[in-house]
Amino acid sequence: MAIFSSLVSPGGKVPAYGEIHTNRDLASTLKKLVAAEDMAKKQGKSRSLALQAVRDRFYKGDLAEAIVSFQKTFQCKDDTGQKHTGLLTAEDFATYTAKLREPWTVKFMVMTFINAAPGPRDLCSFRH
């Protein structure tokens, strides 16, 4: 939780309204993903293949390696106070594929509400 706290409340305080908040690690990651797309485009690849290069860099490249390395050494406590490290492997990242789902739509009077289809862990997407 300390890492999350340092991201959302730098210096131990919540940023004031209007204060600029930065996350250099996230910015660096996004720049690497953009660079992967740019390189693919410069090689004459289509937009679809350029986006595949982005996914490959994240799931099969240096970013996946960094995440796996970090979570193997970083320990966090469970609700009993016992420390654990992560279990993700490079193979987990390399074999992951996103599942495309049709969005949920609900028509109500003259409005149509559109929401992302729920994933396997979502209990309820629309609430009353």
CA-based end-to-end distance of the chain: 32
Share of the chain above pLDDT 70, in %: 86
Q: What CA–CA distance (Å, rounded) separates 38 from 54?
A: 9
What does the longest C-alpha to C-alpha distance in the chain come to?
54
Q: What's the average model confidence in pLDDT over 74-80?
A: 87
Q: How far is CA 108 from CA 44, 105, 111, 112, 118, in A?
A: 46, 10, 5, 6, 20
pLDDT in tens, 24-49: 888 999 999 999 999 999 999 999 99
